[in-house]
Amino acid sequence: MRIEVDQLDKPTHPDGLVLLDYFESHRARGVVPRRADLPAREIVRILPNVFILEPIDPEGLDWRLRLLGQGLVDRFGADPTGLAISQIYATDQVEYNAGVYRAVVAGERLSVTRGTFQDIDREFLTFEIVHTPIIGSDEKTRWVLGGIFFEGHVLSE
């Protein structure tokens, strides 16, 4: 799979804003959301479009998809849960994406992008991706909680 994206300062999609609010409500309390707290009532409406990534190695050079919401599974026609990004993304995009995830978990900040898919018969889909840090199942490693929200489709209304 190949994606082409542009970086945004903040989410513009209504469902991306729900994920941002969830992250910001935790940050305001001085904590990072935890995997153990999901599913969470505050984001239950967008859960079909969320995903979770965990680093495979201590350096964060590759990441495993731990969860993919059913809405995304249905949209893509497959469930890549358990696969590494090195198995999913085009080879030349793995390092870039791993770098984004490392920056998200290191900086306790979001990454927001808008773009299109290529090479998976889904080129017509325009989407926004929001990445936030979470504390993983081991209660110490930072993982990524993200959401993919499609133009013209809002889950939380």
In sequence order, what E strands does the chain have?
Answer: 2-8, 50-55, 63-68, 111-118, 126-135, 142-150
Chain segment 29-80, per-residue pLDDT in tens: 999 999 999 999 999 999 999 999 999 999 999 999 999 999 999 988 899 9
Separation CA 97–CA 53 (nearest Å): 11
CATH 3.30.450.20 is the classification of domain 2-150: yes
Domain boundaries, the chain: 2-150
What are 1-35's pLDDT values in tens digits? 656 778 889 999 999 999 999 999 999 999 999 99
pTM for this entry: 0.89
